[in-house]
Amino acid sequence: MVTETTPHNHPATVLTRQELRTVAHSQLVRELSSLSLPEVEGLVERIACNTPTGNVPSMILNGLLRAGKASPQTAQRDMNLLLRAMHNVKDKAVFAFFFAGPAIALHSYQAILQLAGKDPDSAFPNGTWQFYVDYALRDDLARHANETDGFDTTLRQHHLTLAPVDRLTAWVMAAVYTLHQYDDLLANEWRERTHTRLLRELTRTLPEAKRFANAYRLWEKVRPYGRGADVAPADNYPSYRRQKFDAFMAQAIAALPPALQQAWRTQTEQAEQEQLASYQKQLGILAYLEPETYVEQHLPLDKKEVHVGLIYRDQYYFIPICQPNSTLPAHIQTVRGQIAAILAHPIDQPPATLTPLAEVRRTAVPALKKTLPEDIQKGLSNLCAAPILVNADPQPPHLPLAQIRRAERGMGDHALTIFDTGQSFVFDQSHIFFDGAWGAALAEMMTNEALAWATYLHTLPTAVPSKTRPFAPLLHLETKHLKSLESVPKVTAEASAESAEIEYKNILRLRQFFKQRSGLLQLTVNDLLVLYRAIHAARYQPSPSLQAELAALQKVRESRSAATAALEAMRESGRQNPATLIPVDASQRSPRDRLYPMTFEVPLAELDLLNLHAQTMAALDGGSKEQFNELRRTYLHMLASFGELFSRAKAVGIEGKSDSVTTMKLLANLHPALQKLLNTIPDRFDTLNDLLKGREVFSNVGVVVPSSSLRRFITAKDDNEKKTLCWGVLTDADGVMRMSLRDFRPHVALLHQQNQAALAQRITQDYLDSYVHGLNSYVRDVKRIAGNQP
């Protein structure tokens, strides 16, 4: 009998297990670690199966046992060792980690830290997520984007027309001041979250605890994203916002006893002294990314050397953010004259062609740069000093954001690129520096800052070009260099789609029906979106026209494999319940942690939701009253159980505690069919385990504030090849819910190779449209069920 080789019994796993046990059962481990023998064995097994790399894990464990605290430098060195060893494993067919290298390596490293009795906080002082993104959200696809239209809409409403020079000047000045004020912007973000959290914790036992617990949510509703009419002449936006927040908090704590007020002030001052500076350093964008084989290094920039990169007619111009020999912001008249000179006398040299470089895998960039001509290397070095690029070459506003962002955008060393569509501005942001919510907030702040400059510029006489034009390096790749890029690893091909047809108001009405029906039906809008994603995956049927087109392509030898892969992807949708990775905001609990990525699978089989829905609708349309009422009770009870399960899973993620699971087991209203799922929610939230499991990303930035001009959003994809679909949701100030879908399924790349990119787009659009129309129909059905009088 032949024994099948699996990750558990593979020779590499067996060797790793043996090597680890030798060290893990040593006297030194027993002295430094409080783990029980079964716990030690469990960690050894996890490490051996996840990273079967021979003696490397035991060597790392040995080093940690003999070291003091595990420093960030030690953690990075050890991670690189693990990744290099994983790369050298020959039997790649057996192990899944080649699809999720950084996540699984970090998962194992955390287990090694536990064996060594080390505090993870010393290894990851900026939190696990920040450490992870530097390894696994490096490539071009790991950027998310959002769009605002407030600049053009407001100018149009006030009948203001800007000259092209002044349009660009307004945005360059917004970038200049954003860079100068960035530490203060981050300080506001940190203070608002930390001050409200400390207030929540201090008042937890008071009768009015709920009111204090909602302080941050209340602040979100009134938080300004620009300077108001009551701003003092000397105040910039960060100081104006800080004053507004301080006034808000003074009112919030006014009714507290003096002793509690003083305790709150003492704790906020202490936290600020201990944490704020490191938070500003962690998320600061006055830096550039230097790619190494496995990780990105953050290299700080001297403010005097920093500039804004302006892309005009496919050339990169560098505009200093400081006055000469000073750290003061560049003067508006200087910047205006420089931009006027660019528009009047653009440089005469071959156009920049950096887009192919942006699509190269970051792990291959160091070696690639060495092969480029010296003048190109020098130009790329200059580009590193531009944390913000403004692409002034108009982009078609009707295109999906994922296509707009593919215009000239540097090569990925910087934080932010802004694109002008003539009707709106699109912000393309590196996930290393921005999460979705912070990126959206900054886009709104910069839009308001640019608008303030535009209002001022409109009052000025015609701009006079400066005598010298800003420097523009040669960044043109010759054909031979572009040809050499064909053999360099690149990011996977992408198709994208967007829709604004979700009937959002109907979803809100359904939630009202739920509240009227039962206090247990607490499903949020996002709960319903995630629930229907699982239903959609099970129900999806491609349009007949797409099936016919793909069937025809199958008959052509050159396109057969691409068409077959696309048809297989369509069939696969109904066979798998998607494991969906949902970013959960962690910043209110700990600003440095940024977010928790939680993976959730809707328990469709346990709910029997598809059959129950069909039966309930049949009874509603043609059954007896008694039969319908009984089925409705069961159906709504099942939905309530799902909402409770999802809510508790999120609570574990946010709090990082096990008490939510214990409480959940005592809930009498939870449907018995879901009781067995309670054990699948971990005792402690495991960020990296969820990163490994998730096959899709579902990111909803929520409903923007009434004053916001945010319109669209796309989420980012990490460098894990198993992430195939990325869903993004934003609801604008007009109550329009917009959904985006980025599609990285294998057939997309195959269709691109056959010059069938348009077909790949249609497949993605069909998939998104079927979700949207199906969701609308489902909500109408459930509204009928919930709203029908007994």
Q: What are the boundaries of each domain within the chain?
A: 11-125, 139-490, 495-787
Contacts of 637 (CB under 8 A, 6+ apart): 520, 669, 671
Residues 238/185, Cβ–Cβ less than 8 Å: yes
| Cα–Cα distance measured from residue 48 to residue 747, given in angstroms and rounded to the nearest whole number | 34
Q: Comparing C-alpha atoms, which of 661, 645, 571, 651 is closest to residue 607?
A: 645
Element containing residue 689 per DSSP (H, E): helix 687-693
CA nearest 712: which of 452, 388, 399?
Answer: 399
Give me the sign of the Cα torsion angle 525, 529, 532, 534: negative
Give me the phi and psi of 235, to 5 degrees please.
-90, 130
| Closest of 123, 45, 58 to residue 85, by C-alpha | 58
Pairing mode, strands 696-703 and 580-585: parallel
Residue 783 CA neighbour count, 13 Å, CB half: 16
Q: Which residues contact 764 (CB under 8 A, 6 or more apart)?
A: 495, 496, 497, 741, 743, 748
For 152, residues 6+ apart whose C-beta sits below 8 A from its C-beta are: 422, 423, 424
pLDDT computed for residue 7 by the predictor: 61
Q: What is the mean pLDDT of each run of 10 residues along the chain (790 residues)?
A: 57 86 83 83 87 86 81 85 77 48 78 84 82 89 97 96 97 98 98 96 92 93 94 94 97 94 96 96 96 92 97 98 96 98 96 95 93 94 97 97 97 97 98 94 97 96 96 94 90 96 96 82 92 94 93 92 91 81 86 84 86 93 89 90 83 52 35 46 44 80 94 91 91 97 96 95 97 97 80
Residue by residue, what is the 3-state secondary structure of 197-240? HHHHHHCCCCCCHHHHHCHHHHHHHHCCCCCCCCCCCCCCHHHH
Q: Judge: domain 495-787, CATH 3.30.559.
A: yes
pTM: 0.90
Long-range Cβ pairs for the range 545-552 (8 Å, 24+): 546/762, 546/763, 546/766, 549/759, 550/759
Q: What is the pLDDT of residue 653?
A: 63
Q: Angle 184-169-716 (CA atoms, 0-180°, nearest 5)?
A: 60
In this predicted structure, what is the pLDDT of residue 91? 55
Q: Are 536 and 580 a contacting pair, CB within 8 Å? A: no
Domain 139-490, second-level architecture: 2-Layer Sandwich (3.30)
Contact, 729 vs 738, CB < 8 A? yes
Which candidate, 288, 287, 304, 316, places its Cα nearest to that of 470? 316
User: What pLDDT is stored for residue 6 in this prediction?
Assistant: 54
The torsion angles phi and psi of 207, rounded to 5 degrees, stand at -60, -30
User: How far apart, in whole angstroms, are the C-alpha atoms of residue 388 and residue 383?
Assistant: 10
